[in-house]
Amino acid sequence: MTTIDNLLLKIVNFTSPAIEERLHNRDSKVLRSLATSITSCFFITENQSRLLMKILKENSEKLPDFSQEISEALSAPMWSHAFRQIEQVKKIYISNNDDGDLMLTIDFSFNSQIRKIMSDIAKKCENLVVTNAGKKYYADLTEHNIVTLVEALKPHEFDIEEKVENYYNTIKSWSEPEIRGQFLITNMTNQNFHKVITADLGISTSIDQNIINDRSMRYQYFTENVKNHGETLTEVIANRSKTRLWIDKKQHSVGNIISSLIDLKRLPMLVVFDTLVNNKYLENLKILSDALEENGIFDNIGIYFRLPNDDLGKQFNGLIADKHYNHQLDENLKVACVMSGKIPKFFLKNAWRPMSVLALDSRMGMRHGKTAVYSNCCDLIVEWAEEPSAMDIKAILR
């Protein structure tokens, strides 16, 4: 009996008429492609063999010269070679990204079902991104991500690195009420904890509930009071659920944001001008200048980039000179301004660190690039724009 692959070669080599004249264009192309694979040293995979038999069965009547052979071949399929084996990769492990940070890595061979699962998981994970090939994903190395990914992918026979498995088992062994109880602010008796907060706020600072809630993410504690999620902008910022928060520029001005940051003792501040919206450099500088002056901030401001000396650049650079926004980076600096993705090297060598980050008209969000990595030292990153960035931002101010 003729093997199915040899039968295919007879069909595609038949020219009176050619398969393109009898079959749908899509089917004829697939048969030509499979014939090429059969004649190569790699042969075809088992999945490709199923596709081949399906096409032959559906088109048997359109190939009357071969319909009898097709029927006989399909009744007891035989092949001249063993199918090509594809290595099936399904792994979860820890690796370093391009910036050297540890990340959870999910690596797998193409699989539409797993791709669908990863798409659903993206809504639950923190900062889950996919490579261009679509076969490798990266996520922040957090307790939440470890539990979410392991529980979603383990039933699909993923090979989980021992270290990740150990982290998962440790996390699942925790009792949430017990852990939360240890980190209630009223139960925090460690002297270093109190010293750090005192150094942050000062002994004479009056601490209201907004400040207590605001610092809970920075110092990793819980509060007993029910959080108020939004009567004022200050409350919305103080009670954010993540370090990043989008604020709708149509509803709140930069002046409103700075006022709230001052209420929360969140100076000094790093302001980021987005390079993707460079036509707004001058407009946003004027907005920022007016907002700072509206809140009584006139000095100790440093803008650490300049524009080319075209018409727009001359106005931008001139405004910096007129306002004396050229303070050096030191402990007295209140506001520092940089371009997204272009943090000056002297920031890395200086002890100055922002208490808050404000990104103006951020399209892609403060997620990638050198400025984003530097900003990760801060637990409050505000993105002021007309709509959320392309990244998944769940903490949305309505």
What residues contact 225, with CB distance under 8 A and at least 6 apart? 209, 212, 213
Cα dihedral 69, 45, 115, 368 in deg (nearest 10): -140
| Residue among 267, 265, 386, 284 nearest 338 (CA) | 284
Least confident range from 111-115, 136-140, 234-238: namely: 111-115
pLDDT at 292: 98
Higher pLDDT pick, 376 / 317: 317
Q: Helices 209-219 and 191-201, interaxial angle, to 10°?
A: 120
Least confident range from 199-208, 225-234, 325-334, 347-356: namely: 199-208
Beta bridge partners of 396: 246
Q: Confirm if 13 and 80 have CB atoms less than 8 A apart.
A: no
Alpha-helix residue ranges (DSSP H) falling in 23-125: 25-39, 46-58, 67-75, 112-121
The dotted CATH code for 90-174 is 3.30.780
Region at 242 (left for phi over 0; alpha for psi -120 to 50; beta for the rest): beta
Residue 73 pLDDT exceeds 70: yes
Q: Confirm if 261 and 292 have CB atoms less than 8 A apart.
A: no
The dotted CATH code for 240-385 is 3.40.50
pLDDT at 367: 64
pLDDT digits (tens, 9 = 90+) for 241-269: 889 999 999 999 999 999 999 999 999 99
- Give the angle 44-46-48 at the CA atoms, nearest 5°: 60
Q: What are phi and psi of 21, to 5 degrees?
A: -85, -15
Give the whole-angstrom CA distance, residue 13 versus residue 147. Answer: 55
